Amino acid sequence: MKTLLFIVALSGCGDDDKADPPPLSFDDTAPSGVEDQDSGLEGLDSGDGVPSELDAIFSSERPSLRSEVYGVGDPSTNTIMVFGGNEGPVVNQRPTSIFVEETWIFEPGYGWTELDIDMPSARARYGAAYDPTAERALIFGGRYRIEGGSGAYDLFDELWSFDFASQSWTLIDAEGGPSARTYPSVFWDDQEQALYVFGGMVNADPMVIEVNQELWRFKDGTWEQLEMGGDAPSPRTFLSEAWDSQRRRLVIFAGQVGNYWDYAYNETYALNIDTLEWVELNDGSDAPSTRMHPHLTYDTERDRYLMFGGHTDIGDGNDLWEMDPESGAWSTIRNADSFTGEGLGCNGNPSDVPADYVDQDLSAPERRHRGMFTLMHDALWIFGGMHAECSAHLDDTWRYPLGGGDWTELIEARSGESCARRDDDCQCLCY
């Protein structure tokens, strides 16, 4: 069973020599009143800053397939910003790195636009947070390596700010803080006007595992390391995080020790930022299955934590769950694909994934981890991520309405999906 955990490195989908997919289909007729299609917002406002047609796509642009990104949403500008990422393919069952230096915005009711601006250098696996008072995104950390390179990565300890109104990046003078790292949990406390950085991995050598459990606060231009107590989680990385602004606590779910081999976790912990004490909210009972790289956010309107997908011990998921912050109880919002219990092996290759490995729900997004997962306009928005069983990144865009309804695919994927989702008659899951 443990060998299935490394399914992220399997090959067999998204081959470079395949024919190019057809161009993105879009509605090239702008809505009435739209004069500047660069912004795409005029004439779409329903009166409260929310576009009247959230599912409309007028832009023909979109980011390339990629993963290891965050999406930070700003409701006031109707914008979700995605920076950087990794679009490197999996070759001979080993992931490669092609890091991207791009800034994209997604505007619900219009679509994607790439910004031609100065920005941080290419990187992925950073942490990100939203500052609603200043209407800015903040990113910290990440890693880079030249295309085709090997050995150690360049890790970053820079703190950058993206201003949504001016659509511009600023490097913040923030020396003396956390060491360079990947996968930090980054969150913003608007009441205190402070940024927090927890954990991450500080090893530049991919063959070394060095998980960090520090907590840092950046306030009034100064970093300070804070000591924590209570019932703290065991050292872990590849986890998901959310900021509970009502209870002023960091919430983390799942994760793994960092070696991709041991089984993952599915406990839920919370760190009260006033007392700096950890508590365990759920010990894994009746919770989502153990997994790495799930997506987590806090639904302030309904006072609940929302979790989507991630890489389970036997493959990626696309299930959607909610957790009651008071009782710590998890419950399913929407089931999707389910694993059948079929083992690996297809076409004589013991590592390939058979077509009946999962019972697929084609009305839900493809299973994935480490893509955009953003709550804005009372809906969840997802883009990209890695589909482990197909060993390929995704580039699709979906919306899930939290007030009722089901997933809507706004932009189809050009890579990374199973054969059934591509309407291809394949012998294996992905080819």
| Domain ranges within the chain, ordered by starting residue | 2-411
Q: How far apart are CA 318 and CA 308, in angstroms?
A: 6
Exposure on the CB side of residue 139, measured as CA atoms within 13 A: 31
pLDDT at 92: 65
Q: What is the pLDDT of residue 148?
A: 86
Query: Please, which residues bridge with residue 137 across strands?
Result: 130, 162
The helix/strand/coil state of 355 is helix
pLDDT of residue 45: 56
What's the rounded Cα separation, in Å, for the pair 199 and 226?
12
Using left for φ > 0, alpha for ψ between -120 and 50, and beta otherwise, residue 84 falls in: left
Specify the CATH number of the domain 2-411. Answer: 2.120.10.80
Look at residue 35 in the predicted model and tell me its pLDDT.
36
Residue 23 confidence (pLDDT): 34
CA distances for 397 relative to 46, 201, 335, 407, 430, angstroms: 22, 29, 19, 10, 20
Q: What is the 3-state secondary structure (H, E, C) of 235-297?
A: CCECCEEEEECCCCEEEEEEEECCCCCCCCEEEEEEEECCCCEEEEEECCCCCCCCEECCEEE
- Round to whole Å and give the CA distance between 368 and 280: 27
CA distance 147 to 378: 39
Amino acid at 78: N
Task: Give the C-alpha separation, 392 to 110, whole Å.
Answer: 27
Q: How many CB atoms lie within 10 A of CB 365?
A: 29
**Considering the entire predicted model, what is its pTM?**
0.90
How do the pLDDT tens digits run along the chain, 431 residues long? 333 333 433 333 333 333 333 334 334 443 333 334 344 444 355 556 789 899 999 999 999 999 999 999 999 999 999 999 999 987 766 778 999 999 999 999 999 999 999 999 999 999 999 999 999 999 999 999 999 888 999 999 999 999 999 999 999 999 899 999 999 999 999 999 999 999 999 999 999 999 999 999 999 999 999 999 999 999 999 999 999 999 999 999 999 999 888 999 999 999 999 999 999 999 999 999 999 999 999 999 999 999 999 999 999 999 999 999 999 999 999 999 999 999 999 989 898 999 999 999 999 999 999 999 999 999 999 999 999 999 999 999 999 999 999 999 999 999 999 999 998 888 899 98
pLDDT given for residue 381 in this prediction: 98
